[in-house]
DNA sequence: TTCGAATGTTAGCCGAAGCTAAGAAGGATG
DNA sequence: CATCCTTCTTAGCTTCGGCTAACATTCGAA
C-alpha cells in the first residue's frame, strides 16, 4: 500500500523545478536570455516568489545567477529542460489524439506531465507513432486489423 | 499565459483532501469504520500528519470527528469521495487500455487523476466504452457527431 | 483489577511555495 | 549630471504538509 502516494509526493517536489527549467530554456531559445521578470509574467506569480524559487534552483545546481544578470541554465538544467519539454509535448499531443480540445490539452498536460512514468510515456509515444493498439478479444472490435 | 499553472496549483490544493476522503470512504465501505490508524498505514505517514490533515478536512466540512471516535464523512465528503473514486477508476482503466502494466497504472493514476478535467475524463470514458476513435486521414478527428 | 500495548492527541519543529512591503541598482531622458 | 521608472533584491509573514517527541486514553490480558 501507498507506494502510489509516495510517488505522487515526490513528483510534486520536483514539479516546480521542472516547469521552471522548461520555461527558462524556452525563453533562452526564443530571445537569447531569460530575466526573472519573464518568469514573473509567465507563471503569474510575484517577483519575490520567482526570486525564492530561482534560489532553490541554484542551490540544487540547475541554474546559475548573478545580481541583475540574466538566468543561465547549467548543463544539468539544460538536460532536465530538454527531457521535460519532450515529455510535456508527448502528453499534450496524446491528449489531442484522444479528442481533447487544444485549450484543454494545454491546461491538463501542464499538471499531468509530472506524474507520467517512463512506461506510460512510452505507451503514449507508441500510440502517437504506431496508431491504436489492437483490440484484444472481448473488446468492442471496431478498427479491424492494421493500418 | 499561465492559466495552466494556476490550474495546476489549485489542483494541488485539493489533491490531499480528495485522496483522504476517497480512502476514508473505502475503509467505511470495507469495514464500517475508519480510524486514523487506518489512514496512517494507508498513506504511510505519521499519526501527527494524519491528525493535522483530518483537522483541515473537518475545518473544510468534509468530515466530522470526536476524540477517540472513528472518522465520519459529511454528505459533502461522501459526494467528493464518490466523484473522486469514479474519476480515479476511469483514469486507471484508461491507462490499462493504452497498454500500461497494472502496477504502473496504479501508481501513475494516483497522481494523474487530480489533473484530469471533465473534458479529458469524458474523452477517456468514451474510448473505454466505444473503443478507439476512427482514424481519419490527416489526423485523429473522429468525425460523426456524438453517439 | 491493574497494567501494558495500541491507539489517539498535542506541542513544536521544518521546508516549500506563495504573499506584501520596502528599498537598492541601473538605464533612458531631460 | 540629475532624475525617474523599471527591474531586481531582501525582509518578514502565511499556509500546507511533512516530521519527532511527549503525553493521554482505551482496552484486552494477566
Ligand atoms: Mn507542468
Ligand atoms: Mn500533481
Ligand atoms: Mn485517488
Ligand atoms: Mn491521488
SS3 label, residue A79: helix
Does B140 fall in a domain? no
Ligand (nearest to CA of B82): 3
Does A98 fall in a domain? yes
CB-nearest partner of B117 from A104, A115, A124: A104
User: What is d(CA A57, CA A60) in angstroms, rounded to the nearest whole number?
Assistant: 5
SS3 label, residue A32: coil
CA of A111 to C1' of D10 (A): 31
Ligand (nearest to CA of A106): 1
| CATH code of the domain containing B118 | 1.10.10.10
Which residues on neighbouring strands pair with residue A36, listed in sequence order? Answer: none
CB-nearest partner of B104 from A108, A117, A133: A117
- Containing structural domain, residue A124: 3-130
| Cross-chain residue pair B119–A104, CB shorter than 8 Å | yes
Q: Would you tell me how many other CB atoms lie within 10 Å of the CB of residue B54?
A: 19
Chain B residue numbers with beta carbons less than 8 Å from the beta carbon of A115 are: 108, 110-112, 115
Does B136 fall in a domain? no
pLDDT classification of B39: cutoffs 50, 70, 90: very high
One pLDDT digit (tens) per residue for chain A, 147 residues? 478 888 898 888 899 999 999 999 999 999 999 999 999 999 999 999 999 999 999 999 999 999 999 999 999 999 999 999 999 999 999 999 999 999 999 999 999 999 999 999 999 999 999 998 876 644 444 444 344
Looking at residues B23-49, what average pLDDT do you find?
A: 94
pLDDT of residue B135: 65
SS3 label, residue B132: coil
More confident residue, A139 or B78: B78
Does A137 fall in a domain? no
Chain A residue numbers with beta carbons less than 8 Å from the beta carbon of B128 are: none
Residue A28: C-alpha distances to residues A38, A72, A84 (Å) = 11, 9, 15
User: What is d(CA A60, CA B120) in angstroms, rounded to the nearest whole number?
Assistant: 35
Task: Name residues whose C-beta falls within 8 Å of residue B140's C-beta, 6 or more positions apart in sequence.
Answer: A96, A97, A98, A99, B133
Does A147 fall in a domain? no
* Whether residue B72 has pLDDT greater than 70: yes
Percent of the residues in chain B that have a pLDDT greater than 90, as a whole number: 78
| Cross-chain residue pair B111–A114, CB shorter than 8 Å | yes
Looking at residues B34-40, what average pLDDT do you find?
A: 94
Give the mean pLDDT of chain B. Answer: 89
Contact A80, A18 (CB under 8 A): yes
Q: How far is CA A124 from the centre of its chain?
A: 14
Question: What are B110's three cell numbers?
Answer: 494516483
List protein-proximal bases of chain C (any atom < 7 A from a CB): 7-12, 16-22, 25-26
Nearest by Cα to B15 from A46, A30, A62, A115: A115
- The pLDDT tens digits for B2-32 are 788 888 888 888 999 999 999 999 999 998 9
* Whether residue B52 has pLDDT greater than 70: yes
pLDDT of residue A146: 40
pLDDT of residue A13: 83
Does A97 fall in a domain? yes
Does A136 fall in a domain? no
pTM: 0.88
Question: What are A80's three cell numbers?
Answer: 532536465
User: What is d(CA A134, CA B11) in angstroms, rounded to the nearest whole number?
Assistant: 34
pLDDT of residue B54: 96
Surface-to-core class of residue A46, CB atoms within 10 Å of its CB (0-12 exposed, 13-18 middle, 19+ buried): exposed
Nearest by Cα to A113 from A15, A43, A24: A15
- The pLDDT tens digits for B106-147 are 999 999 999 999 999 999 999 999 998 876 644 444 434 333
Q: Would you tell me how many other CB atoms lie within 10 Å of the CB of residue B37?
A: 10
Does A138 fall in a domain? no
**Domain total of chain A:** 1
User: What is d(CA B146, CA B8) in angstroms, rounded to the nearest whole number?
Assistant: 30
SS3 label, residue B68: coil
- Ranges assigned E (strand) in chain A: 63-64, 72-73
| Cross-chain residue pair A115–B108, CB shorter than 8 Å | yes
pLDDT of residue A48: 95
Amino acid at each position: 500500500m501507498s507506494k502510489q502516494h509516495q510517488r505522487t509526493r515526490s513528483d510534486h517536489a520536483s514539479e516546480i523545478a521542472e516547469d521552471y527549467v522548461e520555461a527558462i530554456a524556452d525563453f533562452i531559445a526564443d530571445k537569447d536570455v531569460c530575466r526573472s521578470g519573464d518568469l514573473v509574467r509567465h507563471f503569474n506569480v510575484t517577483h519575490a516568489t520567482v526570486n525564492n524559487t530561482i534560489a532553490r534552483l541554484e542551490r540544487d545546481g540547475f541554474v546559475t545567477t548573478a545580481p541583475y544578470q540574466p538566468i543561465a541554465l547549467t548543463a544539468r538544467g539544460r538536460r532536465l529542460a530538454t527531457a521535460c519539454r519532450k515529455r510535456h509535448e508527448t502528453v499534450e499531443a496524446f491528449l489531442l489524439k484522444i479528442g481533447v480540445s487544444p485549450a484543454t490539452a494545454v491546461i491538463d498536460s501542464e499538471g499531468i506531465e509530472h506524474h507520467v512514468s517512463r512506461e506510460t510515456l512510452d505507451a503514449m509515444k507508441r500510440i502517437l507513432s504506431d496508431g491504436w493498439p489492437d483490440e484484444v478479444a472481448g473488446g468492442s472490435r471496431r478498427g479491424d486489423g492494421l493500418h
